[in-house]
Amino acid sequence: MNLRKLVGTLLLSWVFVCGQAKQQVDMDWWREGRFGMFIHWGLYSVAAGEWNGKPVDGIGEWIQNFAKVPNSEYEKLADKFTLSNYDPDAWVKLAKQAGARYIVFTTKHHEGFCLYPSDVSDFDIERTPYKRDPLKELVEACRRQGLKVGFYYSHRQDWREEDAAVMKNEYDGHYGKPRSEVKPNLDRYIKEKALSQMKELLTRYGKIDLLWYDTPFDLTKEQSQTFVNVVRELQPECIINGRVGYNLGDYGALGDNEMPCSRVNMDLEMVATMNHTWGYKKNDHDWKSPKDILCSLIECASRGVNYMINIGPKEDGTVPQPSVDIMNFIGNWMQANSESVYGTSGNPFNDNFPWGYATHKDNIIYLHLLREPLNRRIILKGLLSPVEKAEILSSGMAVPVSDKGHYALTIPAELDYGQIPVVKLVCKAPVRFSEDNYMNENIVSIPVANGKIIPGKEGSLSIAEGGNTQNFHAGTGKLQLKCEIDEPGAYKVRIFTSRHWRRTFAEGAKITLKVDDNPSFNSVLMQKDGELANVRQNSYPETWSDVGTVNFRQKGTKELELAVNSTGTFSRLGFFGEDIQNESENNIRFMRIELIKETR
Ligand code: JFZ
């Protein structure tokens, strides 16, 4: 080996050993697939949201924590975890027929119980009446049906292990001793249980395609890196999710049920519940509608991110019927329309369309219609590529296209918008777009992610992975936006912010907004004038505030400038204290600004 090559090899080894090098894993199957199915199954599925006959609020898989159950009591659930109707092939078939390309299954959640026979812990499936390995059976079913295999592993939280006690925000009653006597040794837990079990999981079940870590909390970067290294060493082609911590995964991380508010230009995955819980709860009947769940899949694709929907089977392995119905509804739609999701990139336009969502691939644009466009017309401003033709994807029905400066589509009458019809627009070359924000129908929607950040005296606001503002408070600068107005007149100014459902709206928040040459809205109070009624309300409600009206004497480019005077009580952190983007409390989480043409 010549000297140059030797030096290069040594340098690369050194960088890798320091964990600095981020090994490039082939993400193509994951990006192409766009859609996965999450499965939360554990002793909490036996509890099913109740303890001592009483309902326990909160997500079902956290019941031991919320109900403050000592391990000596909680472990008795294992006797009732029968798996008597467990049919892994049926689970995989449900996912496959819905069009999901991968499954992520909880091998060990925060409760510490292992859904497979572990040599490292006796708190595992061998405590139950089930005498086989359900994880092995699920992996084999995935292989038989051609779905990729993902393992969820709670690498930081383990309520069974005192060494993993998260003292600042966890009930220490799990260990049957007063908090003052709980002496966690996190390094020992990591070495003796977590990493040892990772080795079991990564060597016993063949090729694993995705490792899904969760809630890194107070892990150090070095500790997170050890969870990366064990995967790289044993399963070098395995993708690691963003929640391993410190952005060390192969893709980014959003909060639970957190929908990006505009197109993102990085690998991200949105994980979502079908009701309000991941683990089965017998009393949670607040199922999202099948169409809402399908819309979330499509909206994620239009943002360029993956969508992983969760099912929470009962203790016997039965999948709740509403979950089956939702997956079948998605599957029916995907049968005719999946090409508008698989392998696509996000909405190429800068606009959020009032009638639905767009995706694109090479020379094709897909328009997903959630409702009939105004006057059954869609005008594609900003499209620079010549159009060849347009049709309804599922039927082939022609969609007339005219070119009067902008391409305009005339949408056929009598489409069934309950089934989210898709227009397939074929261009004569790979699609190209202008960077401008245009009006669609009577609204111009300006995502904050399109803005230019001007840092302030105390630092700078930024744009989070989900496209919303973060660290945006007095002193961290301002955001400059611009848009194209089609006609002069009066426009209502509507600002959309988001918050984590556990926190109140931004009481007392004040902002300053300049819109072109109109009088500035100075330090105006953000009122809660409404919230969008959609699936986001479950976790990240989208609230709008109408700050006033502006007038434009002429059509054309208009510039806006937004600054924060005070953030009030606005925040996004959940009460677990988990925050993925290390977001501070002192932030207004803007999503977009809409200018809505006022009709006379
Ligand atoms: C975690 C788990 O605690 C939960 O039980 C479930 O498994 C879910 C998929 O993941 O919950 C989280 C993790 C991160 C955030 C919120 C809930 N977050 O970043 O806002």
Q: What is the CATH number of the domain that holds 77?
A: 3.20.20.80
Among protein residues, the one with the nearest Cα to ligand 1's atom 7 is 278
Domain limit, last residue, from 435, 464, 479: 435
- Would you say residue 350 lies in a domain? no
What order of strands is seen across the sheet that includes strand 269-272? 239-240, 210-213, 148-153, 102-108, 35-39, 306-311, 269-272
Q: Which pLDDT belongs to residue 20?
A: 47
Pocket probe for ligand 1: among 256, 311, 580, the residue whose CB has the most ligand atoms within 8 Å is 256
Beta carbon of 542 within 6 Å of any ligand 1 atom: no
Beta carbon of 255 within 6 Å of any ligand 1 atom: yes
Q: Residue 62 CA: which ligand 1 atom is closest? A: 5
- Domain match, 428 and 466 both: no
- Would you say residue 345 lies in a domain? no
- Domain match, 540 and 458 both: yes
- Domain match, 362 and 493 both: no
Among protein residues, the one with the nearest Cα to ligand 1's atom 15 is 255
Beta carbon of 574 within 6 Å of any ligand 1 atom: yes
Residue 188 DSSP symbol: H
**Into how many domains does the chain fold?**
3
Beta carbon of 59 within 6 Å of any ligand 1 atom: yes
Bridge-based pairing state of the strands 590-597 and 443-447 = antiparallel
Query: E strands of 303-420, at which residues?
Result: 306-311, 356-361, 364-369, 377-380, 387-392, 401-403, 407-410
- Domain match, 86 and 185 both: yes
Beta carbon of 271 within 6 Å of any ligand 1 atom: yes
Q: Residue 500 CA: which ligand 1 atom is closest? A: 20
Q: Which pLDDT belongs to residue 175?
A: 84
Distance between Cα 176 and ligand 1 center (Å): 25
Distance between Cα 278 and ligand 1 center (Å): 9
Distance between Cα 27 and ligand 1 center (Å): 23
Among protein residues, the one with the nearest Cα to ligand 1's atom 6 is 278
Among protein residues, the one with the nearest Cα to ligand 1's atom 20 is 255
Cβ atoms of 565 and 523 within 8 Å: the answer is: yes
Domain limit, last residue, from 415, 435, 455: 435
Q: What is the CATH number of the domain that holds 517?
A: 2.60.120.260
Q: Which pLDDT belongs to residue 567?
A: 87
Q: Residue 38 CA: which ligand 1 atom is closest? A: 9
Lookup result for tokens 């099912």? 311
Beta carbon of 315 within 6 Å of any ligand 1 atom: no
Distance between Cα 348 and ligand 1 center (Å): 30
- Would you say residue 347 lies in a domain? no
Distance between Cα 59 and ligand 1 center (Å): 10
Q: Which pLDDT belongs to residue 503?
A: 63
Helix (H) or strand (E) holding 199, with range, is: helix 195-204
Q: Residue 579 CA: which ligand 1 atom is closest? A: 19
Pocket probe for ligand 1: among 109, 214, 573, the residue whose CB has the most ligand atoms within 8 Å is 214
Q: How many CA atoms lie within 13 A of 201 on its CB side?
A: 32
- Domain match, 275 and 139 both: yes
- Domain match, 246 and 378 both: no
The Cα–Cα gap between 591 and 463 comes to: 10
Beta carbon of 578 within 6 Å of any ligand 1 atom: yes
- Domain match, 262 and 204 both: yes
Distance between Cα 528 and ligand 1 center (Å): 27
Domain extent at residue 169: 20-340
- Would you say residue 346 lies in a domain? no
Q: What pTM was computed for the model?
A: 0.92
Token couple for 386: 């010549």
Distance between Cα 211 and ligand 1 center (Å): 15
- Would you say residue 537 lies in a domain? yes
- Would you say residue 241 lies in a domain? yes
- Domain match, 138 and 193 both: yes
Among protein residues, the one with the nearest Cα to ligand 1's atom 9 is 256
Distance between Cα 475 and ligand 1 center (Å): 31
Among protein residues, the one with the nearest Cα to ligand 1's atom 12 is 256
Q: Residue 109 CA: which ligand 1 atom is closest? A: 7
- Domain match, 509 and 552 both: yes
- Would you say residue 451 lies in a domain? yes
- Would you say residue 351 lies in a domain? no
Token couple for 311: 């099912």
Q: Which pLDDT belongs to residue 257?
A: 87
- Domain match, 326 and 184 both: yes
Distance between Cα 589 and ligand 1 center (Å): 20
Q: What is the CATH number of the domain that holds 360?
A: 2.60.40.1180
For the stretch 79-82, contacts whose Cβ atoms lie closer than 8 Å and that sit 24 or more positions apart, written own/partner, are 79/127, 79/128, 79/129, 80/46, 80/315, 81/43, 81/45, 81/46, 81/128, 81/129, 81/130, 81/315, 82/128, 82/129, 82/130, 82/315, 82/316
Beta carbon of 166 within 6 Å of any ligand 1 atom: no
Q: Residue 40 CA: which ligand 1 atom is closest? A: 7
Q: What is the dihedral of CA 155, 156, 162, 166, to 10 degrees?
A: -160
pLDDT in single tens digits along all 600 residues of the chain: 455 555 545 544 444 444 445 668 999 999 999 999 999 999 999 999 999 999 999 999 999 999 999 999 999 999 999 999 999 999 999 999 999 999 999 999 999 999 999 999 999 999 999 999 999 999 999 999 999 999 999 999 999 999 999 877 666 678 888 888 889 999 999 999 999 999 999 999 999 999 999 999 889 999 999 999 999 999 999 999 999 999 999 999 888 888 998 889 899 999 999 999 999 999 999 999 999 999 999 999 999 999 999 999 999 999 999 999 999 999 999 999 999 999 999 999 887 899 999 999 999 999 999 999 999 999 999 999 999 999 999 999 999 999 988 999 999 998 999 999 999 999 999 999 998 999 999 999 999 999 999 999 999 999 998 899 999 999 999 999 999 999 999 999 999 998 766 566 666 789 999 999 999 999 999 888 988 876 666 677 888 999 999 999 999 999 999 999 998 765 444 444 444 444 556 889 899 999 999 986
- Domain match, 451 and 557 both: yes
- Domain match, 313 and 173 both: yes
Beta carbon of 215 within 6 Å of any ligand 1 atom: yes
Q: Which pLDDT belongs to residue 456?
A: 98
Q: Residue 254 CA: which ligand 1 atom is closest? A: 19
Among protein residues, the one with the nearest Cα to ligand 1's atom 5 is 61
Q: Which pLDDT belongs to residue 500?
A: 67
Token couple for 11: 């340098």
Beta carbon of 58 within 6 Å of any ligand 1 atom: no
Token couple for 172: 């220490």
Domain limit, last residue, from 283, 313, 340: 340
